[in-house]
Structure 1
Amino acid sequence: MSMPGSEGDSFSGKLRPGVESAGQLAKLHNMPAHSLADICGHKEELRRLREAIELPLKYGEALREKGIRPAKLVIVHGPPGTGKSTMIRALAADAGLKLFTVRWPQLVARSDDDSRRLLADTMARARANTPSLIVIDDLEFAGFGYGPASELSRKKSAQIAEAIDTLGRDEKIVVVVVSTSPEAVDPTMRKAGCLVEEIEFRLPGLAERKNILALQTRGLTLEGVDLSRIAAATDGFSGADLALLVRNAFLGAFRRASANGDISATGIDNAIVTDADFRAALQAASKKRQPESRGEVN
């Protein structure tokens, strides 16, 4: 199965270590959105995404009969590495929605006329392929919420708001804007002529981190590893951070199991991941993080 609207993505392959991000994790697992939610610790976020996107696009008429007006704009925000865009793509694939993606850098790299045409063309293609989902990604680069926004950012944001405002109430199209922070989204978009739903992707809590680690390591041979201790030591880690931690712990075991530094399947099969491997991986990860996010396995 391939994710619509994502060029070159291949969702095939067996579960194996070596995952560096939530996006790579999805590709390796060929997984539906609910499974990705388990891995990344976002079951509640997935439920809200389905209610904001899938429900109105597939059952809009039933909602209207009840007098329920669905949101046409969904603002999704959360720290980097929480799998926001990956989860949206997985949901679109699961629900059979056509997915069209516009990234903020694409807009700012074009002239005003060209960026307006890009948005209009995206809207036209979405209308020709309903039910459809339009994702406007990387809004954090717009600069809103980080001081005075540039005139260029204000112009491009106004164009997005204008495009959203063209959506009719009964059209089977939902627009999702994605950013690392809600403040990074221009207030103009919230004033477009539609209801707005906001969904936050938070960092996983202790129980979620333990569950993520259990799922990430289920294909590995572990020896003397206490996942509860590791979960407690990784406060502030995203699902992608935990995937990288497991990857690096596995590589430590792989190097130990590989004769003379050979790269082979034998090293993968014989790798036994120990507590020392996780300690080393956590120490390396802590060096790259802010002091307040560092953890130690006691």
Structure 2
Amino acid sequence: FSTLGWPEETEDLKCFYPTSVLVTGFDIIFFWVARMIMMGLKFRGEVPFKQVYINPLIRDTEGKIMSKSKGNVIDPLTIVEEYGSDALRITLTSITIQGNFICLSEERIKGFRNFTNKIWNVSRFSIMNLTDFDIDKIEKEKLKMTLVDKWIISKLIETIKKSTECLNEYKYGEAAKIIYEFTWNEFCDWYIEFSKPKLYQEKDTIERRTSQYILWFVLENTLRLLHPFMPFITEEIWQKLPHKGESIMVSPWPKYKEEYENKDAENKMDKIMSIIKTIR
């Protein structure tokens, strides 16, 4: 509170103290967290924060503390230069667990670099097939959704629900994994392939317009889900899509809508995909 102007009753002090969450490491709970609480109670008569989020410390692949003398340090600047900051950011988020430390390796970062490339390529394909798409001219009541369309919307809504619940409980790693699985598996690997026959139809057919709308809707919502974990690539892609607002950073978090859930479509698609996998 001293940085906010205390002992004067400044506007910053009134606005930002007490705060809601303190983020810290387990190694300084007594030397920092406990003493902040004691000082807050002593001089302000109130606890400075309501919740404490203990983040794990980063170690090497063998669980050892990184140090220059051991030669096991992973330089974040070098990693960002090689793989991009988004890849590093989502890697660290995805492997975050409720424990004392996490093991980081360059191989994991490479894997999420590939995920970044996947998003870029799928978005490029989508944008190429949305050149004649105008969201303001779409009449939703006239769209003819197929089983695949209903399925992907239902899976998106499920992803929104589960990831939101995880974030509200500070389970950032689980939220990132849920969004990752949906993006790579359901959306990129399955829906994009299923949508191609309709997208390649002649312009202005209701089937093509429906596929364009679903493609735009799912991609735009997926980008907003991914944005906290991968801010740069999602902003770049979002700006090239039909959108409202100046930046994805200030766009609202996707909302869960129960009426979009369709378990019947999910069950039917599970059977279809199982057959396809068996044939392959």
TM-score by length of 1: 0.22
Larger Rg: 2
Structure with more strand by fraction: 1
Larger RCO, structures 1/2 (Cα 8 Å, 6+ apart): 1
Structure with more helix by fraction: 2
TM-score by length of 2: 0.23
